[in-house]
Structures are given as structure tokens and as C-alpha cells.
Amino acid sequence: MIADVLIIGGGPAGLESAACISEFGHKAVLIERESQLGGHLLKWDRLFPDSIPSSQFCERLTGNTGNSKVITNSNILSIKRDNGRFISKLTTGESVESKTLLMTTGFALFAAEKKQEYGYNLYNRVITNSDLEDIFKKGTVTGTEKPAKIGFVHCVGSRDEKACNRNCSKVCCVTAVKQAIELKEMFPESEIFCFYMDLRMFGRGYEDLYLEAQTKYGIRFIRGRVSEVSEDINGNLIIKAEDTLISKPVRITLNLLVLMTGIIPDQDNSNLIQQLGVKLADDGFVYSPDPLYGSGKTNIDGLFVAGSVTGPKTLPEVINEARSTSLEIHNYLISKD
Ligand code: SF4
């Protein structure tokens, strides 16, 4: 198969890039390792700040890949450079010869069980932000029908030297607020507490959502890290923390605890990154040689990136970056003709 661009990854960045590259009149092949397109969007129920159904946005992206050839259940087996072209062997047995490569392989979520003090995989009522989206999709919480007290822990695996990730994951504060409101709508009688270090409500509408969470839904925000979670004989969770605004210890019994796991580099890409010799930044995400002006370029000529493969981003940022990188690829292809 011959292509101008081989796009690796069928999440939002890859799908939007396929649409743009196709509009520019170039031939793109998009490969996705899973059986369905959409990436992390598939796991999410609704999107912040306007609660748009994730499936609706996903359908919009998947229905608009232009003339691009899309191959699912496929990954890169091996890749080499020959005469300036990338020769990629796929796990499906096919081979793609392309003038450029575009990596849109996204991110992974921090494995919550690594923070043993929070008891994920130990206690049934400790779940992650991703698990909660699944609950929203199904419309029920199993094991605890109507949780009277619910807690959220921010920055799980983010801003944490011990977890080898000192960076902020950018989107989990507003996601916690969104999810807390959704839980309150599901269980109006419940009390909800968010334990945070700082609240990073930088985007349009985020601050309004945070205010609404407090004034309309009565969600309580407690500044302080949770130090310990244990379980009583009834399966309830006992949380120990410190309210750092009033310098007092806090001990609360909860029926459900949600861990806001952070965004980290996807280690499944390490083989591809090694084969290509892609330079990584100190945080493990793909290095951008010109983060101010040309974020789609990498240290390899002809290899481009878009989306969260270079670090945590909001969905609008991912979409905009897919478009700008597609333009860079278009200019690159024209310059080589
Ligand atoms: S966005 Fe909020 S919860 Fe996420 S890492 Fe940053 S400060 Fe922590």
C-alpha cells in the first residue's frame, strides 16, 4: 500500500488528522490497534464542560475521515526508512510505504493500584475516574446501591515525585467536578467531598462549573491530600486527610471513593519509539523541538505528532493540534514534490 501519510492511532487526534489530510488532497492510511475507533473517547460517557455525550462526538469524528483508508485491529510490527520513505509492516500482514508518519498514539492513565495507600483493587468501593464513566454508561453503582457519602481524590499519580510524575495532568480537576455533579444528580441525597491540592480551572466555563458544583449541588471541596484509606467490617471506607486551609485532621467514612488518575505516556508505544529513534522529553512524552511554533514536528524528518502523545491536553486542544499538524504535513509534502 502506498500513502502520503501513515497515521498511527485512531483516537480524536488521528481521526481529525485523517479528515484534514484528506481535505488537503493527500492519501492517508490510518491504523488503530483496537477493534473500534475513538481511543479514550470510547470509555467516557459525557465530556466537560457541557456534558456532550462522548459517543456523539466520537460518531462525528469517525464519520468524517474523508478518503483515508482505515485499518482497525492493526499495529506496527516493524518500521524502517528506505530512500526517504517509511516502510511499515503491520500486524495484519499488510505493508505501507509512506512519505510521512503521523503519531497520534495518545496517552495512558496512571495505574491506581500503584498508590497502595488508596486501596484500589483492595477495596471494592474504591474506583477510578475511568471506572466511574463506565458506571455512568450503565447507570448503576454495583455493591453500594445509594452511596450516602462519596469522596474524590485529585492528583492520583500526578504532581507526585514518588509516582515518577511531577506534572499536572491538566484535565482531572474539571473532570472531577463534572463527575461529582453527575453523581449528585444520580444520588441527590448523597454528600460529596473533593480532596484537592490546587484546583486548576483554566478553561472557558470551568470556573462556572466549579461554582455551580458548590452553590447548586452542595459539593464540598477540601484542600488537602488523603494520607490513608482503610475499610471497616461493613465495607465502608475510612479516609484520613488533613484540611490544610484550617490545619485540622479530617476523618470521614465514605461509601464510595473515586481516584482521579493522571495522564502518563503510553508504554505500549515504546517499541515504535525505539525503532524510529524518537526523542522523548524528561517526562517521557515525545519531545517537541519547537514547542512554541511547530509543535507537530519531532527530531525525525518526516515524522510528525499530534494530540496527547506530547503531554496532557484537553479535547479542543487535541483537535486544534491535529489540524495544525495536518497543515504542517501538507506544507512538508508540497516542499518535497
Ligand atoms: S488537573 Fe487537578 S487533579 Fe489533575 S493533576 Fe492537575 S491539579 Fe491534580
Nearest 5 degrees, angle CA 122-CA 236-CA 253? 120
Q: For 130-171, write each residue's pLDDT tens digit.
A: 999 999 998 876 655 689 999 999 999 999 999 999 999 999
Number of other CB atoms surrounding residue 120 within 10 Å: 21
pLDDT at 198 (0 to 100) = 93
Ranges of the chain with pLDDT below 50: none
Which three cell numbers, joined as nine digits, stand for 2?
502506498
| Alpha-carbon span 149 to 208, nearest angstrom | 24
Mutate which of 48, 110, 115, 173 for ligand 1? The one with the most ligand atoms within 8 Å of its CB, which is: 173
Span from the CA of 79 to the centroid of ligand 1 (angstroms): 36
CA 242 vs CA 122, 124, 186, 294: distances in Å: 23, 24, 28, 43
CATH level 2 (architecture), domain 2-106+266-336: 3-Layer(bba) Sandwich (3.50)
In the CATH scheme, what is the homologous superfamily, with its name and number, of domain 110-263? FAD/NAD(P)-binding domain (3.50.50.60)
- Distance in Å, CA 176 to ligand 1 centroid: 9
Do 278 and 303 contact (CB within 8 A), yes or no?
yes
pLDDT in tens, 30-61: 999 999 999 999 999 999 888 899 999 999 99
Q: How many CB atoms lie within 10 A of CB 216?
A: 10
| Three cell numbers, residue 84 | 526517504
pLDDT for 122 equals 96
Tell me the whole-structure pTM to 2 decimals.
0.94
Residue 269: per-residue pLDDT: 87
The domain limits of the chain are 2-106+266-336, 110-263
CA-nearest residue, atom 6 of ligand 1 = 168
Contact assessment for residue 287 and residue 298, using Cβ atoms and an 8 Å cutoff: yes
pLDDT for residue 295: 75
CA of 200 to the centre of ligand 1 (A): 6
Nearest to 133 by CA among 46, 255, 259: 46
Cα(171)–Cα(154) distance, integer angstroms: 11
Do 149 and 260 meet the contact criterion of CB atoms below 8 Å apart?
no
Nearest protein CA to atom 8 of ligand 1, as residue? 155
